[in-house]
Structure 1
Amino acid sequence: MTTHALADSRTMLRRNLVHAKRYPAMTIGVVIMPVLLLLMFNYIFGGALEKAAGGHYIDYIVPGMMLMIPAYLVVGVAVGIASDMTKGIVNRFRTMPMAHSSILTGQVIGTVIQGVLGVGLMVAVAALIGFRSDAGALEWVAAFGLIALAIFGLAWLGAGFGLAAKTPESASNTPTVIVFLPFLGSGLVPTDTMPAGVRQFAEFQPFTPMTETLRGLLMGTAIGWNGVGALAWCIGFAVVGYLWSRSLFRRKTN
């Protein structure tokens, strides 16, 4: 049974990758927008914010900007799942001898692959405009591993948002809070420059420990307990998103 489910998940993964290749608008949008934001913040706001960051601003913001892509991909997953649910393709899949859970699993794994490639593109663009890291191969592997885990957890949340939405249009709006969270953490400026209240929220929201962990891996700053917090948030997103999406999927397909 497990082998059957894995084979069906590979089939659904291939379907989603082919679909992303043939209809790349959503994928390009969620990957290009963070890259454009990286360029905007570096060239428009970088001069004013460099002193607050305590060094080259491009080196400061890249770890936070890398997490923009996982946040934006939540919308892509939600819209993709909502589209499948409203167009009737899921009902066709249900008539086939296949593991129905593979429909969601294929979407999530496909999102992880696209997201990691998107982050790689962002790092390449950042390197072209001056980003420099002293990280070794092990630190880069750990950084991309954390990114992949964040995408995995957030993609399951995105699946839940997509299943809860009545239309693809509403599915694109419900994850808005997650999309804005990277802006409200330590990704763009240090949290100690923020006013009270905002600072406390920024320090304890999910994307700040992820950002500080990436910054420590790539730039050599102290990680402390941020690594534990980052892993806990990623795993928590994955568990909550998986249970929520599986429950909604069973309810809507029974």
Structure 2
Amino acid sequence: MSSVETTEAPLEIEAHWTALPEVTPPSERALATLASHSLLQCKRLLFGWARDPATTIQTLIYPALTLLMFDVVLGNSITNATGKPAIYGQVAMITLVAAMSGAVVSALGFKTEKATGLLGRFWTMPVHRAAGLTGRILAEAVRVLITTIFVLAVGMLLGFRFDQGWVAGLALIALPVVFGVGFAVLVTALATITEGVMLVSLVSIVNTLLMFFNTGFVPKMAYPIWLQDVVENQPMSCAIDAMRGLSYGGPVADALWKTIAWTLGLILLFGWPAIRGYQRAAQTGA
């Protein structure tokens, strides 16, 4: 009797066994995969930056102290000379400078990942090939957003106000993010073809020239006549004028469209070199 029970038990178990449905993983090239993997890469970068004290200083402390310094040293002089509160131009300028300076930190992180082979390991894993680059650009946008909100908060302590309503205020907050994305594409492209020291030097020169020759530092009329058109139409001045109009008041449309045109131009001009350079760095480490 025991032998019969022993032979029938496996048959009874097999009769009640049900096969699990076969699960087909999504394609590595699907848009849904790109979105999810980009968010994971963005989260990885943001957590890494949050744990780095130097990045925190570069993102929050340095812009706030710079704004305070400009307001103390030049605020009253510019206000008396122009008849308009200087804080509106200074806040806009500092958010843009912070967006550009922070892009260098991201680019140096990219070069570190290339040197350590992390980019190459991501390239051989079942990860969307574009997720590394899009996740990095997305993380840059989030970083610029956080910096902008922090600088605006400090600016409000110094007299900055959203005089044109909440819709204009939201547009003002979005403008440095858009500007920062375009600049991040430029810096990423440069990071794929230059060494770390050269990259910092190049971007520092660009940042310094744009910071001291714009309409947020001093009004356009304070510059020599032959330089005024250049100052007025350089990308940072366009963004500053648009942000000033969205907060204090004044013309917005022309400066806003110029800012968008500059941003799209940077993306179109340096987008493909950034993509190709990222692929080359991931495949060969060069």
TM-score by length of 1: 0.92
Deviations 1:197-224 (A, max 9, x none): 3323212211111111111111111124
Is the contact made by 2:245 and 2:252 (CA closer than 8 Å) also made in structure 1? yes
Secondary structure, aligned partner of 1:186: coil
Residue number among 55, 73, 76 corresponding to 2:102 in the alignment: 73
1-structure distance, mates of 2:239, 2:227: 18
One-letter code of the match for 2:142? I
Contact 1:52/1:193 (CA < 8 Å) preserved in 2? no
1:18 Cα offset (Å): 1.3
Q: Please state if 1:16 is matched with 2:37.
A: no
Q: CA 1:160 to 1:27, structure 2 compared with 1: closer, same or farther past 3 Å?
A: farther
Instruction: Give the letter aligned to residue 176 of structure 1.
Output: S
| Structure 1 pair 215–235 and aligned structure 2 pair: CA distance change class (3 A) | same
Match of 1:45 in 2: 74
Runs of at least 4 residues off by over 6 Å: none
Is the Cα–Cα contact under 8 Å of residues 164 and 248 in structure 1 kept in the other structure?
yes
Match of 2:178 among 149, 166, 169: 149
Indicate which of 204, 209, 217 corresponds to 1:176. Answer: 204
C-alpha distance after superposition, 1:12-50 (max 9, x if no partner):
111101111222412421432222221111101223222
Give structure 1 stretches of 5+ with no counterpart.
none
Matched letter for residue 69 of structure 1: A
8 Å contact from structure 2 (residues 59, 143) kept in 1: no
Going from structure 1 to structure 2, the CA distance change for 1:247 and 1:218 (only over 3 Å counts) comes to same
**Kept after mapping to 1: 8 A contact 2:58/2:102:** no
Q: Percent identity?
A: 25
Distance 2:105 2:274 in 1: 15
Instruction: Render the CA deviation track for 1:135-178: whole Å, top value 9, x for unaligned.
Output: 21100111122222111111111211222223x33332221233
1:57-77 Cα distance to aligned partner (Å, 9 max, x none) = 223422222222222122122
Q: RMSD over aligned Cα, in angstroms?
A: 1.7
Of 135, 139, 156, 2:168 maps to 139
Which amino acid in the other structure matches residue 175 of structure 1? V
2 CA distance for matches of 1:27 and 1:243? Answer: 30
Does structure 2 retain, via aligned residues, the 8 Å contact 1:77–1:162?
Answer: no
> Aligned in 2, Cα 1:26/1:176: closer, same or farther, shift over 3 Å?
same
Distance of 2:43 and 2:253 partners within structure 1: 39
What residue in structure 2 maps to residue 219 of structure 1?
A: 248
Distance 1:253 1:50 in 2: 51
Aligned CA distance change for structure 1 residues 77 and 125 (closer, same or farther; 3 Å): same
Structure-2-length-normalised TM-score: 0.82
Amino acid in structure 2 at the alignment position of 1:100: R
Partner of 2:55: 26
Are 2:187 and 2:203, in contact at CA under 8 Å, matched by a contact in 1? Answer: yes
Bigger CA radius of gyration: 2
C-alpha contact (below 8 Å) 2:38/2:134 kept by paired residues:
yes
Number of positions where the alignment pairs a residue of Structure 1 with one of Structure 2? 253
* Superposed CA offset, 1:97-154 (max 9, x none): 1112211111111111111111111111111122223121100111122222111111
What SS class does the counterpart of residue 164 from structure 1 fall into?
coil
Match of 1:85 among 83, 93, 114: 114
